[in-house]
Structure 1
């Protein structure tokens, strides 16, 4: 059984301070590294702080290091949370946005029926003092959209601020969901002519109540699954998939547009208060980044393609516009932390390719604003893709047509490697690795619907020791994939152990020359990057995930081929940049400030794992190293190395002021539990 992180930290201190071994020598840094314990120089080691029992939830309040333990019984119901939100909206803290912007109580057309407060004086009386710094919209063409509600309202100037137009052209967001389209999605009245034509041509367009065709496909699926078995080292063939989930049964075999969609809660939530991009923004975006998007307003004649003509009119996957991923620095799509402000920070530090967080197809088709917020793109992201996750060809194809019509993207990535239970139980993510014919149907439907490159992200297989992708890699290109990213772990393995790069190399060498293969897993330094590229020239590039969360300057290190012994002050400046662009994205009012704080704290739960280069006896740091308790070269560096949420909150208060009364925080992805991290 693997040791816990706490046990490994204690072991590290013991190994560093214990008497000489039987051979008369202290454990060497190399011996510590071999035990996956970071070899920190002795002068920086310190005794580990007291740790809480495993029954604690780790919620920290604003009294400092005191920990508030919350039991499951104290959790609030959805109805109670909804009631509290409505009460909050009517309180003086939630002033009507129109009144806050104009300062005139009569500016709201809804008067007493408005769901927000109109007590302007009451809002002013309870509003906390302004934060230090200037309004993030100081360079905007228009005055701050939050007006009196802005936490930097004291820095506002009268009228239109100077120098705004040029700044706005270089700094804006696109891919907002049109309200008319959203209403059609809500009412289940959106049409998908391209997707439906392709689905019909492939024999995949069936009504939800007609299960015969789908069940026949499932039988074929099982036949091919047995034909694609991989023999492991013991001579045992791979088992047939996983037990069917509730979505694979007769009651829910296919998610079809022809059946009303049931409202579901979004798997991944992200609030985004940025204004929707208008047509002019989209046009400027295309001119700025050179993206060809002539399908923004497609004509009816090009929308509907007769099924019989579909095969001859559609481009062959190899004739599509391809993206050259070779040697480009690719920031992986990262749940929760890979938001737009974080991607902007990584772009400044050298990332070449960025991709939005994984969005669920069913939620996109329901018009959920929180899910569509994951597709937003900043003007600095010159090579940008979105990642979607779905279980069936019809939902995936329709979402891809919708994205192609409403969004400006360079490629669309389909996630078939997500290991999270709530995704796998719906038949999506890693569950598809056991259904090769389902993969084929999804890829053919998706690639045949749009002309944009369709890429694929997978894991080595579903079960540990029973890899699957090598048996499919020669076909993925024929099915329509423009590139394939392989995460070198199985679904069963989640994020434990090291990534299997030898298997990634095997797949890259076996893949056709026209299908780029990207590797993913455990890249934390430029030496890791160089080694993988040197060991397998057929590998197009390496996707960087948790390495970018721990130290986003890894992109700079790779481009400059050096270990950057970054100072605590330089790291703080990176956090300041994140806060600045976060306030632009989520808003500078109280809600926007606290949303920015939440995502900053989520990120700090990863950055605390970074060990400064100057403190190590062996360089570079490896992703699986457990750091002992150590002191930094200054107080700020020590604070940044803490794995306590209370210390993360202290850092946030340095940038965003004091937290509100009763503030609590628990990281969604506990970065100190190295074998259970949810990103990578």
Structure 2
């Protein structure tokens, strides 16, 4: 990482023994077509001198196995793998942690075996000599934590440990605590309460009760606790008193009109839908891609989180007042002015914290975390809470959550309001993924307007932070319906709504319907900000939408930022940036540095950074440099023909082959491990798939 982009492009792009990069290809002969004909066919009109014959390659969407010559011989005899049971795989993982390659973090930090508080009971290895013997060579460049206060948190495990130097404080100690520039970590005490279904949500429950949305059933955990407290169950009474004081069985469905008004029970997390155990596999976790990587939190943030977990008796004392007339009206809340601000959309997988930092450097004004599932957050899953992380450079930041029911979402926003520092909370009501829709969340809510109303009223009435929502135009193609709801959404309590100009059924198969977005913006009330989303890929697109509909507050940029994150610079400077391959590589180098700071500079952190870099490269290969086009700007739906760049690095970056993306990653993060494989999660390089446009 110490080399400049120019040196990389000259000396390391095309080794003599490596195959040439495979450029993008439409499979359609384009040499004899005029630029206007190509545009009509949605093919990028690349200048003829840069065109080349399309590559002859098998299915481009297959998983690419990228190994060197030595590893390919080792793996050739193991094509048929033995199917192992879950218990055997778990046993192997535990044994692997005990191997010398998994050094105890405490021992790695200090270099002293006796520093581990768990001693022989530690699940990691304490074999320093064995770890040093098998540790791979250090990567080029300096440790990303050298500029921060305190020593590198990964110590001997850091892949840049050769550049470490002792950090001595005033007292002469080398153990200075490193302050992190990231916040929104989950407090361990709160996590334990969530695991045990003992977390209280007084504000959410009070609001749900006032709206008549609080279910009467009790969690199984509470039933067991009641039995333990009573000692003996009254066998003459077949109906136990439920959480609202009703003489009904715990599994019965009871109208709230039959129940006496009272305070909800503390463990009633999801009243009529008890939460699963925290360790059980949750199907909604499919959208989680980042793990809890142990990044430290600011000391003051930790103290604030601890203060929020004080005994709940004091909170219960003020519960009756939450229904009073002193409740803040939705229009009196702090509002965020999205007008004229460049908004980076919440993006699954690629919209991680390092990528958002890259976009902030390039001019983004508003950032939002990846979509997090409410049920997973309420279970205290560390991997889901990692999606709420915020960097200090994100001065206007929100989180996006997704759920199916008002009680789930209301409790989640209260929890986020307590534990996180955010400027707004966005609710996803447009996610088209089947596994989300089948749970009643995402785009499924577009078919249930009364549930949408309950969710918005419950969440906006629970917290003072602005609640925004993101929707599609409708569920079924040809049946748009948001325009009929847009006037009500503001009265329900939402501060802003983003309209993605496609239906759930369309996915990304057609261009966004901006005329319909304009129609929605004109129907909205004055206190509801409407943002448009879909196919913005240049400053001309941005200008057109803003001029065509002055009622539009702003535009959200999604895939355009994935393919060329410098679109924010182009919009602010009102120009087409003919960015060079060296400048693009420098942006990737920034991402690699940000990734190592976020996921870690040890072996696991380096490979996690590589994985998300490769996911991002699966989008950037769609970009066609301005200087190569006969017609500018490039449109988002254009398919690039096979072409050569102005230099070898530009040609390499145009490839839609995973093997070439891996070669780019090796320029920044060193050689991949033996047997390394990669396939893009969203098949973003597959133009023939409807969900990818």
3-state SS in 2 of match to 1:201: helix
* Alignment partner, residue 402 of structure 2: 389
What CA distance in whole angstroms lies between the structure 2 residues aligned with 1:348 and 1:214?
52
What CA distance in whole angstroms lies between the structure 2 residues aligned with 1:204 and 1:487?
29
Alignment partner of 1:625 is 2:638:
yes
Alignment partner of 1:43 is 2:49:
yes
* TM-score (structure 1 length as normaliser): 0.85
Alignment of 1:528-567 (within 5 A): 528-567=541-580
Alignment partner of 1:573 is 2:590:
no
Alignment partner of 1:96 is 2:104:
yes
Alignment of 1:588-603 (within 5 A): 588-603=601-616
Alignment partner of 1:178 is 2:187:
yes
**Gap change, CA 1:91 and 1:306, over 3 Å in 2:** closer
* Alignment partner, residue 211 of structure 1: 253
What CA distance in whole angstroms lies between the structure 1 residues aligned with 2:346 and 2:257?
33
Alignment partner of 1:345 is 2:358:
yes
* Alignment partner, residue 124 of structure 1: 132
List runs of 5+ in structure 2 lacking aligned partners. Answer: 1-22, 218-250, 259-268
Alignment of 1:460-475 (within 5 A): 460-475=473-488
**Gap change, CA 1:464 and 1:340, over 3 Å in 2:** same
What CA distance in whole angstroms lies between the structure 1 residues aligned with 2:97 and 2:429?
40
Alignment partner of 1:317 is 2:330:
yes
Post-superposition offset of 1:72 = 12
**Gap change, CA 1:81 and 1:554, over 3 Å in 2:** farther
Question: Which residue among 649, 652, 655 is the counterpart of 1:639?
Answer: 652
Whether contact under 8 Å (2:187, 2:302) holds in the other structure is no
Question: Which residue among 92, 106, 112 is the counterpart of 2:114?
Answer: 106
What CA distance in whole angstroms lies between the structure 1 residues aligned with 2:55 and 2:460?
54
Question: Which residue among 405, 427, 445 is the counterpart of 2:440?
Answer: 427
Whether contact under 8 Å (2:443, 2:475) holds in the other structure is yes
Which stretch of structure 1 is more off in the superposition, 270-279 or 37-46? 270-279
3-state SS in 2 of match to 1:508: helix
3-state SS in 2 of match to 1:358: strand
* Alignment partner, residue 264 of structure 1: 281
Whether contact under 8 Å (2:202, 2:319) holds in the other structure is no
Post-superposition offset of 1:83 = 3.5
What CA distance in whole angstroms lies between the structure 1 residues aligned with 2:428 and 2:257?
24
* Alignment partner, residue 418 of structure 2: 405
What CA distance in whole angstroms lies between the structure 2 residues aligned with 1:451 and 1:674?
43
**Gap change, CA 1:211 and 1:278, over 3 Å in 2:** farther
Post-superposition offset of 1:276 = 3.7
Alignment partner of 1:34 is 2:76:
no
* Alignment partner, residue 149 of structure 1: 157
* Alignment partner, residue 375 of structure 1: 388
**Gap change, CA 1:397 and 1:50, over 3 Å in 2:** same
What CA distance in whole angstroms lies between the structure 2 residues aligned with 1:275 and 1:53?
39
3-state SS in 2 of match to 1:462: coil
What CA distance in whole angstroms lies between the structure 1 residues aligned with 2:330 and 2:80?
51
**Gap change, CA 1:311 and 1:626, over 3 Å in 2:** farther
| Greater gyration radius | 2
What CA distance in whole angstroms lies between the structure 2 residues aligned with 1:150 and 1:166?
18
3-state SS in 1 of match to 2:190: helix
Post-superposition offset of 1:61 = 1.9
Question: Which residue among 49, 58, 62 is the counterpart of 2:63?
Answer: 58
3-state SS in 1 of match to 2:677: coil
**Gap change, CA 1:366 and 1:641, over 3 Å in 2:** same
Whether contact under 8 Å (2:410, 2:459) holds in the other structure is yes
What CA distance in whole angstroms lies between the structure 2 residues aligned with 1:679 and 1:400?
31
**Gap change, CA 1:258 and 1:273, over 3 Å in 2:** same
3-state SS in 2 of match to 1:313: coil
Alignment partner of 1:10 is 2:27:
yes
3-state SS in 1 of match to 2:662: helix
Whether contact under 8 Å (2:509, 2:692) holds in the other structure is no
* Alignment partner, residue 204 of structure 2: 195
* Alignment partner, residue 608 of structure 1: 621
Whether contact under 8 Å (2:413, 2:463) holds in the other structure is yes
**Gap change, CA 1:210 and 1:71, over 3 Å in 2:** farther
What CA distance in whole angstroms lies between the structure 1 residues aligned with 2:153 and 2:526?
51
Post-superposition offset of 1:110 = 1.7
* Alignment partner, residue 528 of structure 2: 515
What CA distance in whole angstroms lies between the structure 1 residues aligned with 2:399 and 2:153?
28
Structural RMSD (CA): 3.1
Post-superposition offset of 1:676 = 4.1
What CA distance in whole angstroms lies between the structure 2 residues aligned with 1:307 and 1:677?
52
Post-superposition offset of 1:205 = 1.0
3-state SS in 2 of match to 1:386: strand
3-state SS in 2 of match to 1:194: helix
Whether contact under 8 Å (1:494, 1:676) holds in the other structure is no
What CA distance in whole angstroms lies between the structure 2 residues aligned with 1:598 and 1:659?
11
3-state SS in 2 of match to 1:606: helix
Whether contact under 8 Å (1:130, 1:152) holds in the other structure is yes
Q: Deviations over 1:182-203 (max 9, x none)?
A: 0010111111111011111111
Post-superposition offset of 1:120 = 0.7
**Gap change, CA 1:87 and 1:299, over 3 Å in 2:** closer
3-state SS in 1 of match to 2:504: coil
* Alignment partner, residue 443 of structure 1: 456
Whether contact under 8 Å (2:216, 2:256) holds in the other structure is no
* TM-score (structure 2 length as normaliser): 0.83
What CA distance in whole angstroms lies between the structure 1 residues aligned with 2:130 and 2:53?
51
3-state SS in 1 of match to 2:368: strand
Whether contact under 8 Å (2:502, 2:512) holds in the other structure is yes
3-state SS in 1 of match to 2:45: coil
**Gap change, CA 1:306 and 1:159, over 3 Å in 2:** closer
Post-superposition offset of 1:312 = 2.0
Post-superposition offset of 1:53 = 3.4
